[in-house]
Amino acid sequence: MPRDLKLFVVDTGPLITLAAAQSLDYLLYVNVDVVIPDAVLHEATYDAARLGAQDIIEWVKAHRGQIEIAATRTYAIFDAARATIPICASRIWANEPRWKSSRSPTG
């Protein structure tokens, strides 16, 4: 019975480091799907001017077939808080994630 292997990127640091080194494609060399939790991706890309953020945004968009953005309950709560608590909506980290498309990647 074949196993479904996936590579999980559960921390922002390695993602930013690989982006800064122009090496994000190394995550694809293993030839398995890459899973990035939505909270990790948001932290890495909420400010496109930050180190590696624009590269990560473009990389995720270019490799949509191989990258899964995993929805997490924690990020759903955070996102709901941004929408309902005015102080959260006014902060820079409350910007709409740039990696989101008009269609949800998980359904």
Q: Does some domain include residue 77?
A: yes
Stretch among 14-18, 47-51, 97-101 having the lowest mean pLDDT? 97-101
pLDDT, mean of residues 16-31: 95
Task: Give me the percent of the chain exceeding a pLDDT of 70.
Answer: 77
Secondary element (H or E) of residue 33: strand 33-37
pLDDT bin (cut points 50, 70, 90) of residue 95 is: low
Return the SS3 of 77.
helix
Q: Does some domain include residue 105?
A: no
Alpha helix (H) residue ranges in the chain = 12-20, 38-45, 53-62, 73-84, 86-90
Let me know: does 64 contact 105? Beta carbons within 8 Å.
yes
pLDDT, mean of residues 51-80: 94
Residue 56 structure tokens: 């990560």
Residue 74 structure tokens: 């924690």
Let me know: does 42 contact 75? Beta carbons within 8 Å.
yes
Structural domain span for residue 51: 6-94
Residues counted in the chain: 107
The number of domains in the chain is 1
Q: Does some domain include residue 74?
A: yes
pTM: 0.76
